[in-house]
Structure 1
Amino acid sequence: MRRITLDQANQIIVAAFAKGAELNLKPLSVAVLDAGGHLLAFQRQDGASTLRAAIATGKAAGALALGISSRRIGEMAAERPSFIASLGPISPHGIVPAAGGVIVAGDDGAPIGAVGITGDTSDNDELCALAGIAAAGLTPQN
């Protein structure tokens, strides 16, 4: 598979919201990007704050930009804070160094897009991203 379809992006969002409801999480916002970092789909649940679109997109876009999950970017930020801080202004969608941004891998392991979720704890955001990716029949990058 070479790309995430709009149908798959919507499946990711529906499943991520379902996982959030199952875990009784705060209102979530989900962004799904293609491999080029372009927004395919976005939704925010009722009650989600207004900056959540940018945060979710920043988690996904940062993961794609650096080729690693936003969780790993957060770990890098602890080790090299000046470096990670310098990337935000040069990244079109910013870079959010917190778990919740997961790269989606194609059949050959190459990135075909990314999912970014925000709204609850970063760990819970990531759980919902992984649930959404799995529900759409896709694979997260290792």
Structure 2
Amino acid sequence: MAGKPILTLEDARRVAAAAENEARANEWKVVIAVVDDGGHLLYLQRSHDTQFGSVETAIAKAHAAVAFQRPTKASEDAVLSGRLIHLALPGVIPAEGGVPLVRDGVVVGALGISGVRSIQDGQIAQAGASAL
């Protein structure tokens, strides 16, 4: 039986803390969602005054990033370049802010950020992913 690394709750908290630090440094109010390798929510954090619509969006970005094992920016770029087929794929969120979390070359989960502009969500997500 093969073994694989897993994303623990401690890992998820560390990733979320790094993302939160980036958001706070820029005074951005966001929702931070971390999912495991099956796309199941492991950790969620919402600034008290962040729009509640960003909760489901952050979760969806994280889910899409782990399901397709690539940043959601890839779908955003594809749609912007005219490849609209990405809009028909189940669970695709064509907006930056979802990134896979990788340990030892294996996707162990994903991080989703929502609440500010797409490029800013991506910046926060990258900061969080770098903490893993």
With the length of structure 1 as denominator, give the TM-score of the two structures: 0.83
Aligned match for 1:103, one of 100, 104, 112: 100
Identity of aligned residues (%): 33
Match of 1:121 in 2: 117
Aligned match for 1:12, one of 11, 15, 38: 15
With the length of structure 2 as denominator, give the TM-score of the two structures: 0.89
Q: Distance in 2 between matches of 1:39 and 1:120?
A: 21
Q: Distance in 2 between matches of 1:73 and 1:85?
A: 8
Match of 2:87 in 1: 85
Q: Distance in 2 between matches of 1:11 and 1:106?
A: 14
Q: Does the aligned pair in 2 maintain the 1:44–1:53 contact within 8 Å?
A: yes
Q: Distance in 1 between matches of 2:17 and 2:71?
A: 21
RMSD after superposition: 1.4
The number of residues matched between the two structures is 128
Q: Distance in 1 between matches of 2:122 and 2:94?
A: 12
Q: Distance in 2 between matches of 1:57 and 1:123?
A: 17
**What code does the residue aligned with 2:22 have?**
K
Q: Distance in 2 between matches of 1:44 and 1:20?
A: 11
Match of 1:30 in 2: 32
Q: Which runs of 5+ in 1 are unaligned?
A: none
Aligned match for 1:52, one of 38, 45, 54: 54
Q: Does the aligned pair in 1 maintain the 2:87–2:94 contact within 8 Å?
A: no
Q: Which runs of 5+ in 2 are unaligned?
A: none
Task: For residue 134 of structure 1, report the CA deviation from its aligned partner.
Answer: 2.3
* CA-to-aligned-CA distance 1:25-56 (integer Å, 9 cap, x gap): 2x100110111111100111011111111101
